[in-house]
Amino acid sequence: MKHPMRSTLAVAWLLCAAGAASAAPAAGKPTPAAPGDFGPPRGEVIHAILTSPPMVPPPIHRDHPAKVIVELEVREVEKEISEGVSYTFWTFGGTTPGSFIRVRQGDTVEFHLKNHPDNKMPHNIDLHGVTGPGGGAASSFTAPGHESQFTFKALNQGIYVYHCATAPVGMHIANGMYGLMLVEPPEGMKPVDHEYYVMQGDFYTVGKYRERGHQDFDMQRAIDERPTYVLFNGSEGSLVGEHALKAKVGDEVRLFVGNGGPNLVSSFHVIGAIFDRVRYEGGLHEQENVQTTLIPSGGAAIVEFHVRVPGSYVLVDHSIFRAFNKGALAILKADGAEDKTIYSGKEVDSVYLGDKAANLAAVSEARAAEASGTLTKEQQIKAGQSRFTGTCSVCHQGNGAGLAGVFPPLAGSDFLMADKQRAIGIVLNGLTGKVTVNGSEFNSVMPPMSQLNDDELANILTFVRNSWGNSGDAVSADEVRKTRAATKRPEGAAH
Ligand SMILES: [Cu+2]
């Protein structure tokens, strides 16, 4: 793991906070009463329930302001950011985004920030829902093995981001140190069928997208704002497959959607749904019938919609390369009866899910086998099949038959089987101009697929060369690597 310059830790941010504090109010002018100050806390002291994403703590049914104790522990943990790719996340509560905090407007919150003794870095917290310099940052600087405490009154209702603000601030946020705090209005929120917690973040690794193994944080990429990953809930797999959000037809769903950044603004969209209501920027105003809502870095929104037709709804950042090439994609799976009067049917999977719809177990198995030097052709075929879906199948079709006059067949293709080296080159670099496959001529364009990693491409071609009547030897990642290295590309287009 890389270490930041320890000597400058926290200095920049603390200076900032001190500057704000020294701006004294005009002498003699009384401070107007705060809107959400309902007096001193009453009743029993409450220990806040914190939840890991995508869960949200239960609604608060309380008619008075209380003293609420929040205990949040910072943990530096190694986790999977993508299949076969690990990353050292710095977290509030063990997850990225951090634990969800839910309090009532007017509550007095006694905040305890603990920094686990095994951690390497000091941390603190800036809660956007706090009124006061630094949002708590200046009072919560905590070394590993220590605990800080401060108290604030939750004056304003709304959905608020919190994040670490220890220098280098950008690095702490990029490593996953952000989360949401909901300050409920005194009367509570309208009940809905499901509440979920989703938060976007951008990540910067030394290796490229889906490059295997442990990946370090890349400071220069972060400064240049060129993320390797843009993710919901800190991992490509966090909200797909068995981890997809769930609902039933007829349900009303409320999503608390945050954006931790550190750099990007999110164009948050759910494919196939229209938001009935959006509390944009987390404020009090509502907009209705929204297709895409903008969520600033360090901001949040509350979106609500009804699920009326069963199937997969895809949550994306509609800056769409982020969804398909950097991971900003999550699924809400709705079960229930079809309503053909609203929508005639046909699953969205093949169009929008791409390889996220596939079972990744075969991919993990192949990766593990490759690492231990025991990879078999059968394992490559299975893993290749998962990646073929949504990558090649859009044109060559799921059964490899192609489309007469438009996309040549891969099934039983004499052209494909004649030259393995050429086939690797076609996938890496694309193909244009006349080709004759099984006696039929095609004259079209296949785009380059150089975004695929060496082993992904090797597995796909091994699958294709051993399916639908084809039979050939395996394609190795090494063969792909050599072909890639031998290809000249324009400056800046190097994959
Ligand atoms: Cu931190």
Q: Which DSSP symbol is given to 55?
A: -
Find all residues with CB under 8 Å of 8, minimum gap 6, and list them.
Answer: 167, 168
Q: Are strands 158-163 and 178-184 parallel, antiparallel or unpaired?
A: antiparallel
Q: What is the pLDDT of residue 495?
A: 47
Q: What is the pLDDT of residue 294?
A: 98
Question: What SS3 class is residue 216?
Answer: coil
Q: Is 241 left (phi over 0), alpha (psi -120 to 50) or beta?
A: left
Q: How confident is the model at residue 1 (pLDDT cuts 50, 70, 90)?
A: very low
Q: What is the pLDDT of residue 364?
A: 86
Cα 317 to ligand 1 centroid, rounded to whole Å: 26
Out of 207-216, 287-296, 351-360, give the one with best mean pLDDT: 287-296
CA-to-CA distance for 15 and 8, rounded, in angstroms?
Answer: 12
Q: Are 395 and 407 in contact (CB under 8 A)?
A: yes
Greater model confidence, 178 or 26: 178
Cα 176 to ligand 1 centroid, rounded to whole Å: 9
Mean pLDDT for the stretch of residues 270-279: 97
For every residue of 408-463, DSSP letters joined together read ---TT-HHHHH-HHHHHHHHHH-EEEEEEETTEEEEEEE---TTS-HHHHHHHHHH
Residue 339 has pLDDT above 90, yes or no: no
Cα 140 to ligand 1 centroid, rounded to whole Å: 11
Residue 426's Cα: distance from chain center in Å? 32
Cα 257 to ligand 1 centroid, rounded to whole Å: 21
Cα 141 to ligand 1 centroid, rounded to whole Å: 9
Cα 79 to ligand 1 centroid, rounded to whole Å: 17
Cα 270 to ligand 1 centroid, rounded to whole Å: 31
Buried b (16+ CB within 10 A) or exposed e, 29-44: eeeeeeebebeebeee
Unique residue bearing structure tokens 């919609």: 305
Cα 220 to ligand 1 centroid, rounded to whole Å: 19
Cα 424 to ligand 1 centroid, rounded to whole Å: 44
Mean pLDDT for the stretch of residues 455-477: 96
pLDDT one-digit tens code per residue, 319-336: 999 999 999 999 999 999
pLDDT one-digit tens code per residue, 23-36: 444 556 777 777 88
Cα 66 to ligand 1 centroid, rounded to whole Å: 29
Residue 148 has pLDDT above 80, yes or no: yes
Q: How many residues does the chain have?
A: 495
Q: How confident is the model at residue 56 (pLDDT cuts 50, 70, 90)?
A: very high
Cα 122 to ligand 1 centroid, rounded to whole Å: 6
Mean pLDDT of the chain: 90
| CA atoms lying within 13 Å on the CB side of residue 265 | 7
Unique residue bearing structure tokens 């973040």: 201
Tell me phi and psi for residue 145, to 5 degrees: 85, 5
Mean pLDDT for the stretch of residues 209-226: 95
pLDDT one-digit tens code per residue, 243-271: 999 999 999 999 999 999 999 999 999 99
Q: How confident is the model at residue 57 (pLDDT cuts 50, 70, 90)?
A: very high
Cα 124 to ligand 1 centroid, rounded to whole Å: 6
Cα 166 to ligand 1 centroid, rounded to whole Å: 5
Greater model confidence, 486 or 346: 486
Unique residue bearing structure tokens 């080159």: 425
Cα 164 to ligand 1 centroid, rounded to whole Å: 5
Out of 9-23, 135-149, 221-235, give the one with best mean pLDDT: 221-235
Cα 199 to ligand 1 centroid, rounded to whole Å: 17
Cα 114 to ligand 1 centroid, rounded to whole Å: 11
pLDDT one-digit tens code per residue, 361-377: 888 899 899 989 999 99
Find the angle CA(310)-CA(363)-CA(479) to the nearest 5 degrees.
135
Mean pLDDT for the stretch of residues 277-303: 97
Cα 75 to ligand 1 centroid, rounded to whole Å: 9
Cα 171 to ligand 1 centroid, rounded to whole Å: 8
Residue 157 has pLDDT above 70, yes or no: yes
> Residue 306 CB: number of other CB atoms within 10 A?
16
Q: How confident is the model at residue 9 (pLDDT cuts 50, 70, 90)?
A: very low
pTM: 0.84
Find the angle CA(284)-CA(251)-CA(287) to the nearest 5 degrees.
25
Cα 145 to ligand 1 centroid, rounded to whole Å: 14
Cα 123 to ligand 1 centroid, rounded to whole Å: 4
Find all residues with CB under 8 Å of 371, minimum gap 6, and list them.
Answer: none
Cα 10 to ligand 1 centroid, rounded to whole Å: 10
Cα 207 to ligand 1 centroid, rounded to whole Å: 23
Mean pLDDT for the stretch of residues 463-492: 89
